[in-house]
Amino acid sequence: MNRARAILRDERGVAVVVAMIALMVLTALVLAFLAVSAYEPQISRNLADSTRARYIAEAGLESAYDTLIANTDWDGLLAGASCTTGAVVGTVNSAMPGLTATSGTYTVRIRNDCQTNDSLITGVTVETSGNATNDTNDHVILTSTGTFGTATRTINVVVVRVANLLSPSAPASGQINAALSFPGYESDTYFTGNSFTVDGRNYDLSGKVATPKSSLLGISVGPEDQFVPSGGPVMQHAAAIESSVTATQKDNVVGLHQSNAGVLNAEGNDTIAAAALTSASVTDFVNAVKGYADITITTSSSSTSTYVKATDTTTTSSGSAKFNSVGGSCSGSYNSSTCWGTSANPKIVYVKGTVDPTSAFNALRVSGNSSGYGILIVEDGDFTITGNFAWEGPIIVTGGYVGVGINGGGNQQVLGALISNETATNEAPGFYEGVLTGNAKVAYSRAALDKALTALSKKIPGGTGGGAYVTVRMYNFQEQ
């Protein structure tokens, strides 16, 4: 028994066994390390090839972008496309300029935004399924696939062409179509008295109806279905405005007959109608133009301001931009911040407010004896006018919780066009996108718009501000 125990307790030779086990473990680790190391060059190559493929895909987008800029008719580029498979821009597997296919290739396809969920990436209502080859909203989707070696990368982008609201050659969805327009989500209006005028007949700069005669609508709203799903109920904005104009006020609204282009001086309901100008087109135009403003004014909603509500338009304000007798400084200094253009030299004036869900913020108030020439843009806040006021050119009020109020106390005239574009979808009842009182006059003038168009064309590089579109831009990059 003692001998057996002695043998079991004898540890001689254990070191050899342990050493062999350790050697085997280390050998396995080394072999595993060598195996992994053998893949690293391939991993590095795949990463490098994938990166190059991405750059090639971006180059394809730039090439296609140049093609879109150079073509005014995108329908031609969409020929043969479907809502799911786009048409090839250029050629399949194009090589980079000056290089061969061994340096990588790209294929770019263009399709219309007519898939059910395309609005999630474009931000606008999708085209109908039958519009695969007919672009009606100036939005298309590019898909560029770059290939280098065995690696491929795909990039999807949205391309939008921003219509020039002032150009008579712009598409109907992005062109001024009335003396007074409400293309946005809401179009609540309030008209008081019987001295105001909304006139869609074409006036010359002397204030007379131009010859040969032409007209736009007196009052327009945007397409009634632009904010609802396809097949959903219309929004009845035109009917709401018609109801807000009393029987004795109907003849104060004059312009093109909504269904008979031969009648240029229709009155009341006959010249109040839904038309093609969309809210998105107004927003896109403002975003493209505001950076070229001659005068930029930023205001804050840190305190309660006057708001466009017929029952209360006298609340004092310290947050809005308040100007008395705008234009008086032009004779002494054209460059003055209170000189908002002259007839010979119109300006672009941009007033930026802040979004205020209470609808109690007035971004701009003008009073006294004021005048201006050019393009006036007020964003994210109300614009109210009192006293004597004369503007030659377009006035655009746009953004969340906005409205325009011409509140009497003198004679006010807008000769050109006036747009109030409400983009908020949850404004409380009782607030108005348009208030006209007293002797307010809003009249369409092609001559005034043409002057503003000329001023805009000088601001935007290449003179493109004078054409049907002010810019083409890409957004919403998605990689695969």
Are residues 234 and 382 both part of a single domain? yes
pLDDT value, residue 254: 98
**pLDDT at 429 (0 to 100):** 87
pLDDT at 303 over 60: no
Largest CA distance in the chain: 132
Q: Which of 25-29, 277-281, 290-294 shows the lowest per-residue confidence on average (mean pLDDT)?
A: 25-29
The full length of the chain comes to 480
Contacts of residue 450, defined as CB under 8 A and 6 or more positions apart, other chains included, come to 166
Identify the helix (H) or strand (E) that includes residue 459.
Answer: helix 446-459
Residue 202: burial class (beta carbons within 10 Å; 0-12, 13-18, 19+): buried
Q: Is residue 434 situated within a structural domain?
A: yes
pLDDT grade for 38, boundaries at 50, 70 and 90: low
Please report where in the chains the tokens 């407010």 appear, as a residue: 353
Question: ω into residue 346 within 30 of 0, thus cis?
Answer: no
CA distance 266 to 257: 5
Which pLDDT tens digit goes with each residue over 71-113? 878 999 999 999 999 999 999 999 999 999 999 999 999 999 9
Q: Does 263 score more than 70 pLDDT? A: yes
Q: Are 188 and 433 in contact (CB under 8 A)?
A: yes
Do 117 and 230 lie in one domain? The reply is no
Is residue 36 left, alpha or beta, with left meaning phi > 0 and alpha meaning psi from -120 to 50?
A: alpha
Helix or strand or coil: residue 286? helix
* pLDDT tops 80 at residue 39: no
Does the pLDDT value for residue 433 go beyond 50? yes
146 plus 181 within the same structural domain: no
Residue 31 lies in a domain: no
Query: How far from 263 is each of 177, 202, 217, 270, CA to CA, in Å?
Result: 15, 13, 11, 10
414 shares a domain with 269: yes
CA distance 138 to 160: 6
Pairing relationship of beta strands 217-221 and 178-182 according to DSSP bridges: parallel
Q: What is the model's pLDDT at position 253?
A: 98
User: What is the per-residue pLDDT across 374-397, written as a single tens digit (0 to 9) for each?
Assistant: 999 999 999 999 999 999 999 999
* 235 has a pLDDT exceeding 80: yes
Whether pLDDT at 10 is above 70: no
Based on the domain organization, do 346 and 421 belong to the same domain?
yes
Query: What local confidence, expressed as pLDDT, does residue 141 receive?
Result: 96
Mean pLDDT of 297-319: 50
Is position 43 within any domain?
no
Q: What's the whole-number mean pLDDT along residues 121-148?
A: 89
Say if residue 315's pLDDT is above 70: no
| Range in 14-23, 302-311, 409-418 the model is least confident about | 302-311
The radius of gyration computed from the CA coordinates of the chain, to the nearest angstrom, equals 32
Residues 439 and 422 in one domain: yes
Among 343, 436, 449, which residue's Cα sits nearest to residue 396?
A: 449
Higher per-residue pLDDT: 310 or 177: 177
Closest by Cα among 258, 260, 183, 90 to 417: 183
pTM: 0.81
pLDDT at 445: 98
Average pLDDT over residues 319-347: 89
Residue with token string 């004021």: 370
- How sure is the predictor about 22, in pLDDT bands with cuts at 50, 70 and 90? confident
151 and 210: one domain? no
Give mean pLDDT, residues 9-19: 71
Lowest mean pLDDT among 14-23, 159-168, 216-225: 14-23
| Choice between 155 and 3, residue whose per-residue pLDDT is larger | 155
Q: Which domain holds residue 242?
A: 172-470
Strands (E), 76-194: 87-95, 105-112, 139-148, 151-163, 178-182, 189-191
Quick one: pLDDT at residue 71?
A: 86
How high is the pLDDT of residue 30? 81
Residue 143's pLDDT is what?
A: 96
Q: Is the pLDDT of residue 317 over 60?
A: no
Confirm whether 178 is domain-assigned. Answer: yes
Lowest mean pLDDT among 271-275, 308-312, 351-355, 412-416: 308-312
Same domain, 207 and 354: yes
User: What is the pLDDT, as a whole number, of residue 306?
Assistant: 39
37 part of a folded domain: no
- For the residues 408-412, what does the mean pLDDT come to? 92
* Per-residue pLDDT at 310: 31
CA distance 264 to 284: 30
Residue 182 CB-density burial (10 A; 0-12 exposed, 13-18 middle, 19+ buried): buried
| Domain termination site, one of 163, 181, 215 | 163
- Total number of domains constituting the chain: 2
pLDDT given for residue 313 in this prediction? 32
148 and 192 assigned to the same domain: no
Arithmetic mean of pLDDT over the chain: 89
Least confident interval from 8-22, 275-289, 311-325: 311-325
When pLDDT is cut at 50, 70 and 90, the band that residue 307 belongs to is very low
**Is the domain of 88 the same as that of 222?**
no
Q: Are 206 and 166 in contact (CB under 8 A)?
A: no
Query: Which of 141, 163, 185 marks a domain boundary?
Result: 163
Whole-number pLDDT of residue 129: 81
Cα 385 from Cα 369, distance rounded (Å)? 11
Of 163, 192, 224, the residue at which a domain comes to its end is: 163
Q: Interior CA angle at 221 toward 217 and 223, to 5°? A: 115
Percent of the chain with pLDDT over 70: 90
Query: What is the mean predicted confidence (pLDDT) over 453-474?
Result: 85
pLDDT-derived band at 28 (thresholds 50, 70, 90) equals: confident
The verdict on residue 318 lying in a domain is yes
Q: Does residue 476 sit within a domain?
A: no
Instruction: Give the pLDDT mean for 39-51.
Output: 79
Residues 139 and 190 grouped into a single domain: no
Establish if 214 belongs to a structural domain.
yes
> 444 with 334, same domain?
yes
